[in-house]
């Protein structure tokens, strides 16, 4: 008998240590190094909930108009204490800094509504509280954070909050929908709903989300799909914000892909800068040169908007993409930076890669007779539950005896030139299944000359309303990426019922999306009249 609490606790210890994005530290461009006074206190919200707060104040005479203020928002499952080192450092350089634990987290009271308008309204009240402080310049307040700490300020300024600027990292205005995108439930969502109460105290509604996910029942999925995005997604409000914003996202994000920010960019009417590349947190690779680049951009952004320093920030191209490519360095990609004014889907060629017999992947359709492939989702123990699978971390002899992973792969020939992919891949899928629920995970890999390979991106889809044996065709968006497939290497597409990825130090043996625990056989069509293909957005030149 396994012990669920023990197993899940081990997973969550890993998340606390690894998932949370690094907080960026200031450079000394302001040439100040004040001593700092720290104060700890509670601020009472309008509904009576007390939030645990800290302020860091330069120990010197404030400017006549008051200090420029920088408010730190914590990531989910974290508290003001993780923000305090950065807040104290910025205070040394002449900012009045403030950080707090969101409700239901750290030592703040109340229950977490899991990154919703409840937490957004708390932030709005915090800003109103700070604007009444005579030591603070109410026209020079900025808000900074990542993950939950980046989503909430972005949500707030899209709903009328007035501050001078925000820094929103690892965020998306479609973050809730993205967690359950294309009928799939990401492993990272279940992890985020499984913290011990010493870390997060969930509201009753949020507790039900975890129960619905683990149940595997159709009506529970329908409820999750309906209720979870409510009061969380805010894409429809993005065009209303006039507050300058700095965004940084990772194409390798295991929580929210970059699709939402790519789409939001076309709606923004404020001054903004965007970065897409390796960004610490949410399972992304780390790159030291990119980390320095992001830090420098952040410093310049804050100094321009909060101290009016003429440092050229507004004259720079607004969008930075960092491409991953071969060769590897300690199992990490090599990275190259590209700065532009255009969005990822501007001026691209969409290259179609068609499935062919014999594990071949071609840029033209198959015209032969045998134009289908099949794979099984085989559950040999119909008593296997999702909670049991999670506690096994989807590996080991017992799990493998109950759930059979099935995979099919397709390779291109060695590439004749570099393929520069940037943007959102798509899958045109033609299929039938004999099950009421079926899943298709299309993984995209790059295969090197020695036949080793590394994961690039994926397109995941679960049909939770399938009519057995009916034939369907649909187009599905995958997870955006900027990657250069190198000349001489091969592109491999793996189709599997369990989206695990060898060599992924974040997911380890866990799948990116939770599998379907229902027996079934799925058939994919790839003939020219029923063409299943993966479409990669390719930029032909820079």
Q: What is the pLDDT of residue 22?
A: 43
Which residues on neighbouring strands pair with residue 418, listed in sequence order?
none
Least confident of 23-37, 385-399, 451-465: 23-37
Rounded CA-CA distance 442/497 in Å is: 9
pLDDT attached to residue 114 = 98
Rounded CA gap, 254 and 513, in Å?
10
Task: Determine the pLDDT at residue 78.
Answer: 96
Pick 4-23+35-273's CATH classification: 3.40.50.300, 3.40.640.10, 3.40.50.1820, 3.30.465.10: 3.40.50.1820
**CA atoms lying within 13 Å on the CB side of residue 190:** 26
Q: What average pLDDT does the segment 225-247 reach?
A: 97
When pLDDT is cut at 50, 70 and 90, the band that residue 31 belongs to is: low
Predicted confidence at residue 542, as pLDDT, reads 63
Measured distance CA(2)–CA(483) in Å, rounded? 41
Instruction: Record the tokens describing residue 414, joined without a space.
Output: 């060695």
Residue 270 is given by DSSP the state S
Confidence of residue 25 (pLDDT cuts 50, 70, 90): very low
Concatenated DSSP letters of 110-170: S-B-SSSHHHHHHHHHHHHHHHT-TTEEEEEEEEEEETHHHHHHHHHHTTT---SEEEEES
The answer to whether residue 19 scores a pLDDT higher than 80 is: no
pLDDT band at 30 (very low <50, low <70, confident <90, very high): low
**Per-residue pLDDT tens for 257-271?**
999 999 999 999 999
Predicted TM-score (pTM) of the model is: 0.93
Least confident residue range of 308-312, 365-369, 522-526:
308-312
Average the pLDDT over 429-447 and give the result: 98
- Rounded to an integer, the average pLDDT of 219-225 is 97
What is the per-residue pLDDT for 216?
87
Q: Is the per-residue pLDDT at 201 higher than 80?
A: yes
Q: Does domain 349-538 fall into CATH 2.60.120.260?
A: yes
Per-domain residue ranges for the chain? 4-23+35-273, 349-538
Q: Please give the mean pLDDT across all residues of the chain.
A: 92
Q: What is the pLDDT confidence band of residue 101, given thresholds at 50, 70 and 90?
A: very high
pLDDT digits (tens, 9 = 90+) for 440-456: 999 999 999 999 999 99
């Amino acid at each position: 008998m396994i012990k669920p609490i023990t197993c899940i606790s081990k997973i969550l210890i890993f998340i606390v240590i690894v998932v949370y994005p690094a907080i960026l530290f200031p450079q000394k461009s302001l040439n100040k190094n004040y001593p700092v006074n720290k104060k700890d206190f509670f601020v009472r919200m309008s509904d009576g909930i007390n939030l645990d707060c800290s302020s860091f104040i330069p120990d010197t005479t404030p400017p006549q108009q008051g200090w420029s203020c920088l408010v730190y928002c914590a990531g989910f499952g974290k508290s003001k204490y993780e923000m305090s080192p950065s807040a104290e450092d910025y205070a040394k350089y002449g900012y009045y800094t403030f950080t707090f634990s969101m409700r239901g987290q750290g030592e703040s009271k109340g229950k977490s509504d899991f990154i919703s308008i409840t937490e957004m309204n708390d932030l709005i009240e915090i800003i109103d509280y700070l604007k009444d402080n005579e030591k603070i310049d109410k026209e020079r307040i900025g808000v900074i954070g990542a993950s939950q700490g980046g989503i909430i300020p972005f949500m707030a300024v899209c709903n009328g909050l007035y501050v001078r600027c925000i820094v929103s990292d690892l965020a998306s205005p479609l973050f809730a929908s993205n967690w359950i995108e294309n009928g799939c439930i990401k492993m990272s969502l279940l992890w985020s709903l499984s913290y011990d109460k010493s870390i997060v105290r969930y509201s009753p509604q949020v507790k039900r989300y975890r129960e619905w996910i683990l149940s595997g029942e159709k009506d529970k999925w329908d409820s999750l799909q309906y209720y979870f995005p409510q009061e969380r997604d805010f894409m429809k409000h993005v065009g209303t914000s006039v507050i300058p914003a700095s965004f940084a996202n990772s194409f390798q994000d295991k929580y929210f892909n970059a699709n939402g920010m790519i789409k939001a960019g076309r709606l923004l009417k404020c001054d903004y800068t965007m970065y897409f590349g390796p960004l610490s947190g949410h399972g992304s690779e780390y790159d030291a040169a990119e980390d320095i680049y992001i830090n420098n951009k952040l410093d310049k952004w804050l100094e321009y908007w909060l101290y009016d320093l003429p440092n050229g920030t507004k004259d720079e191209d607004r969008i930075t993409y960092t491409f991953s490519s071969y060769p590897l360095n300690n199992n990490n990609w090599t990275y190259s930076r590209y700065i532009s004014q255009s969005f990822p889907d501007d001026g691209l060629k969409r290259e179609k890669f068609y499935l062919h017999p014999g594990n071949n992947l071609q840029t033209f359709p198959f015209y032969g007779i045998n134009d289908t492939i099949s794979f099984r989702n085989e559950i040999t123990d119909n008593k296997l539950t999702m909670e049991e699978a999670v506690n096994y971390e989807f590996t080991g002899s017992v799990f493998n005896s109950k759930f059979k992973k099935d995979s099919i792969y397709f390779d291109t020939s060695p590439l004749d030139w570099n393929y520069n992919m940037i943007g959102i891949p798509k899958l045109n899928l033609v299929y039938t299944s004999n099950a009421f629920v079926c899943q298709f995970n299309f993984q995209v890999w790059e295969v090197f000359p020695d036949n080793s390979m590394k994961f690039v991106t994926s397109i995941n889809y679960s049909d939770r309303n399938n009519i057995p044996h009916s034939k369907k065709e649909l187009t599905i968006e995958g997870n955006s990426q900027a990657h250069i497939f190198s000349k001489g290497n091969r592109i491999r597409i793996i189709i599997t019922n369990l989206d695990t990825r060898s060599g992924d130090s974040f997911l380890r043996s866990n799948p990116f999306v939770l599998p379907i625990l229902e027996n079934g056989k799925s058939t994919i069509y790839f003939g020219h009249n029923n063409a299943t293909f993966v479409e990669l957005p390719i930029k032909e030149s820079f």
